[in-house]
Structures are given as structure tokens and as C-alpha cells.
Structure 1
Amino acid sequence: MKRFILAIALVLAPALSFASQAEGLSIDVKPSADQYYQYSFGSRFVNSSSYMDLTLTANGPQPTNIRNITWTGVGWQVYTNCPVVLNPGQQCTTRMIFQPPWVGSYYSDLVFDLYSSRIIVRFSGWAR
């Protein structure tokens, strides 16, 4: 019986360990004005993972220069393939991962610091 339970656990472990994907967000870069967005991950279990992909698109006639990408808060991870210069028509993706370590409310500001403006995305989530 112990072997059967161990075998089932080993089979199900990979399926239960993947992060769930939330609906993505597409942002058209407006280089001359700050842009503000909000996104809620809703309620998640402690130590579970959920992620959301943000796609930035440079639509202006000039290249978009990305000075810095920062975020705040515990329970958040960020991965990006955004280059320093985003040419007109070019896209890049930033993945925000919510992985709360304990019960409670979580907030994070993801900031794309462009030379002439900023894109700020406020994330929130609750862990149970």
C-alpha cells in the first residue's frame, strides 16, 4: 500500500507543481505620458504560484528607451526579455509571478522607467 501511495504521489507531483497562468495584459507604449494599470491575482493558496505576462509594444515613430524595470514587495518575482531599446513595432514580455509565502494581503508596483515617462502596474493578491 505504501508503494502504491508513493507511486501516485510521484505521478501527480509534476502536475500539481506548475504555476497557474492568469490572463495577460498588453500595453502600447506612449512615450510622452505616464501610464497606470491595475491587476489583481485574487485569492491564492500560500506557497502556490500564479503568473501573468505583460506585453509591451513600441508603437511610436521613434525607438522606446527603457532605463530600468523595478518592482516592490515580498512574494513577487519578475522575469523579462525587454531590451534597453525597443524599436517601433517591436514587442517584449515581462512575467510577473505571485508566490505568497504566508496568509495575508500582497501588493507590488511594477515600474517601467522610460526616459520620457513611466509605466506603472499595481498588482495585488491575497493568500489563504
Structure 2
Amino acid sequence: MRDFDLSPLYRSAIGFDRLASMLDNATRNEQSQPAYPPYNIELIDDNRYRITMAVAGFGNDELSIQSEQGMLVIVGKKQQENGDRKYLYQGIAARSFERRFQLADHVKVVRASLDNGLLHVDLEREIPEAMKPRVIEIEGIN
């Protein structure tokens, strides 16, 4: 993976420091972010998204979703099993995880559901009325 030097962006752009910081963090975190659990991010339509995460073996009580200040955090805490199981082969991961997603402005979590080992998190971008374009009528003098 290539390393990008974003320092020229900090020197010449005013007010874009948050964007540059996000790009810098993304390139750093991409290398350190674990691949477990696998997930998809879908674009449903212009303002709706869905994150689908494979969380086989986790129950509702072992998963938590928190959205705060532009960050979505999904945590899975696997309960320790009582009993002495002896596996000949263990291919199903049973470990805890924490996955973080940076959300754009005005994107909020609408709902979450767990279905057949897949966690679906639906997101929607709601642009405030004050930021939507509006038509200005032109008055004429007769």
C-alpha cells in the first residue's frame, strides 16, 4: 500500500482540515483494521445505505450498536461457553469484535435487524430544510 503525504493539503486549504484528517486516518486505519467480521456496504438509493455484517453465532444480547458524533460503532461481545468442548477443527470464529464506521454529516441510523446470522443496519441521509435548495419567485413590476 502506498503512503500519501497530506501535509500540502493542510498548508493550502482553509476549512478542509476535517476532510484531510479523515483521509489521513482512513489510510492509516485501512492497514490496521481487522477483516473480522466481514461486511458489505450497499447504496440503496441516493440517500439510503445498508451495512450488512456476517455475525453468525452472535445473539441480540451479544451485539450493541451506538451512533455518536458522526461515528457508528458496532460491538460484538461473545459470552464464554460453560463446558469443555474439544474441537477437532474450529472454523467458526467465536471472538469479540469492534467495528467503527465514520458517518457523513446528516447520516443517521434508521433501524437494525438480525436475520439468519446477518446484522443489517439501515442508514439514511436527511438533509435539513435550511440546506435544501429552494426556488425564489421573481416579482415583476407592471
- Identify, as 1 or 2, the structure richer in helix: 2
TM-score (norm 1): 0.31
| Greater relative contact order (Cα < 8 A, sep 6+) | 1
Larger radius of gyration: 2
TM-score (norm 2): 0.30
- Identify, as 1 or 2, the structure richer in strand: 1
